[in-house]
Protein backbone atom coordinates (compact mmCIF):
# COMPACT_ATOMS: atom_id res chain seq x y z
CA UNK A 1 0.00 0.00 0.00
CA UNK A 2 2.93 2.35 0.64
CA UNK A 3 3.87 2.40 -3.05
CA UNK A 4 0.29 3.38 -3.88
CA UNK A 5 0.50 6.34 -1.47
CA UNK A 6 3.87 7.28 -2.91
CA UNK A 7 2.56 7.23 -6.48
CA UNK A 8 -0.42 9.41 -5.51
CA UNK A 9 2.03 11.75 -3.71
CA UNK A 10 4.04 12.02 -6.93
CA UNK A 11 0.88 12.66 -8.94
CA UNK A 12 -0.31 15.43 -6.62
CA UNK A 13 3.17 16.99 -6.49
CA UNK A 14 3.21 17.02 -10.29
CA UNK A 15 -0.25 18.61 -10.41
CA UNK A 16 0.86 21.17 -7.83
CA UNK A 17 3.94 22.08 -9.83
CA UNK A 18 1.83 22.40 -12.98
CA UNK A 19 -0.53 24.68 -11.06
CA UNK A 20 2.51 26.68 -9.92
CA UNK A 21 3.36 27.37 -13.57
CA UNK A 22 -0.29 28.27 -14.28
CA UNK A 23 -0.52 30.54 -11.22
CA UNK A 24 1.81 33.08 -12.89
CA UNK A 25 3.84 33.73 -9.73
CA UNK A 26 0.77 33.39 -7.48
CA UNK A 27 -1.14 36.16 -9.27
CA UNK A 28 -4.04 33.87 -10.27
CA UNK A 29 -6.23 32.66 -7.40
CA UNK A 30 -7.38 29.17 -8.36
CA UNK A 31 -4.08 27.84 -9.66
CA UNK A 32 -2.48 29.27 -6.49
CA UNK A 33 -5.02 27.43 -4.33
CA UNK A 34 -4.29 24.30 -6.38
CA UNK A 35 -0.58 24.59 -5.58
CA UNK A 36 -1.20 24.70 -1.84
CA UNK A 37 -3.79 21.91 -1.82
CA UNK A 38 -1.80 19.59 -4.07
CA UNK A 39 1.44 20.04 -2.12
CA UNK A 40 -0.37 19.52 1.19
CA UNK A 41 -1.84 16.25 -0.07
CA UNK A 42 1.50 15.20 -1.55
CA UNK A 43 3.44 15.79 1.66
CA UNK A 44 0.78 14.06 3.76
CA UNK A 45 0.89 10.96 1.54
CA UNK A 46 4.67 11.02 1.45
CA UNK A 47 4.55 11.09 5.25
CA UNK A 48 2.43 7.92 5.22
CA UNK A 49 5.03 6.26 3.02
CA UNK A 50 7.79 7.25 5.44
CA UNK A 51 6.22 4.98 8.07
CA UNK A 52 7.57 1.95 6.19
CA UNK A 53 10.35 3.21 3.90
CA UNK A 54 13.55 5.18 4.58
CA UNK A 55 13.39 8.92 3.91
CA UNK A 56 16.26 8.88 1.40
CA UNK A 57 14.62 6.21 -0.73
CA UNK A 58 11.17 7.85 -0.56
CA UNK A 59 12.54 11.25 -1.44
CA UNK A 60 14.69 9.90 -4.29
CA UNK A 61 11.68 8.20 -5.87
CA UNK A 62 9.28 11.11 -5.17
CA UNK A 63 11.58 13.81 -6.51
CA UNK A 64 13.00 11.76 -9.39
CA UNK A 65 9.68 10.67 -10.82
CA UNK A 66 8.22 14.10 -10.11
CA UNK A 67 10.99 15.69 -12.19
CA UNK A 68 10.36 13.31 -15.08
CA UNK A 69 6.57 13.80 -14.93
CA UNK A 70 6.76 17.59 -14.77
CA UNK A 71 9.27 17.68 -17.63
CA UNK A 72 6.76 15.70 -19.70
CA UNK A 73 3.91 18.01 -18.72
CA UNK A 74 6.08 21.04 -19.46
CA UNK A 75 6.75 19.64 -22.92
CA UNK A 76 3.16 18.61 -23.70
CA UNK A 77 1.10 21.31 -21.97
CA UNK A 78 3.37 24.34 -21.78
CA UNK A 79 5.34 23.80 -25.00
CA UNK A 80 8.70 23.75 -23.24
CA UNK A 81 11.38 22.08 -25.34
CA UNK A 82 13.72 19.34 -24.15
CA UNK A 83 17.14 19.07 -25.77
CA UNK A 84 19.20 15.88 -26.00
CA UNK A 85 21.01 16.57 -22.72
CA UNK A 86 17.68 16.96 -20.91
CA UNK A 87 16.34 13.71 -22.36
CA UNK A 88 19.54 11.86 -21.41
CA UNK A 89 19.43 13.30 -17.89
CA UNK A 90 15.76 12.37 -17.45
CA UNK A 91 16.55 8.85 -18.69
CA UNK A 92 19.29 8.59 -16.07
CA UNK A 93 16.82 9.65 -13.36
CA UNK A 94 14.40 6.93 -14.47
CA UNK A 95 17.30 4.45 -14.45
CA UNK A 96 18.24 5.50 -10.92
CA UNK A 97 14.69 5.02 -9.68
CA UNK A 98 14.58 1.58 -11.31
CA UNK A 99 17.88 0.58 -9.70
CA UNK A 100 16.55 1.62 -6.29
CA UNK A 101 13.28 -0.21 -6.80
CA UNK A 102 14.67 -3.39 -8.32
CA UNK A 103 17.96 -3.88 -6.50
CA UNK A 104 18.01 -1.95 -3.24
CA UNK A 105 17.30 -3.78 -0.01
CA UNK A 106 16.48 -0.40 1.55
CA UNK A 107 13.30 -0.09 -0.54
CA UNK A 108 10.54 -2.26 0.81
CA UNK A 109 8.64 -4.29 -1.79
Q: pLDDT band for 26, please (50, 70, 90 cuts).
A: very high
The tens digit of pLDDT for each residue in 30-51 reads: 999 999 999 999 999 999 999 9
- The DSSP secondary-structure symbol of 28 reads S
Within 10 angstroms of residue 74's Cβ, the number of other Cβ atoms is 16
Contact of 100 with 61, CB cutoff 8 Å: yes
Share of the chain above pLDDT 70, in %: 97
For 89, counting Cβ atoms within 10 Å of its Cβ (0-12 exposed, 13-18 middle, 19+ buried), the class is middle
**pLDDT, average across residues 68-95:** 96
Inter-CA distances, 9 with 34, 58, 75, 76, 104, Å? 14, 10, 21, 21, 21
pTM recorded for the entire structure:
0.89
Amino acid sequence: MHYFWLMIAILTETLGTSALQASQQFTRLWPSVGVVVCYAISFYLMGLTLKVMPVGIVYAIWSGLGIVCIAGIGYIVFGQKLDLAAVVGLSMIIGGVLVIHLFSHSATH
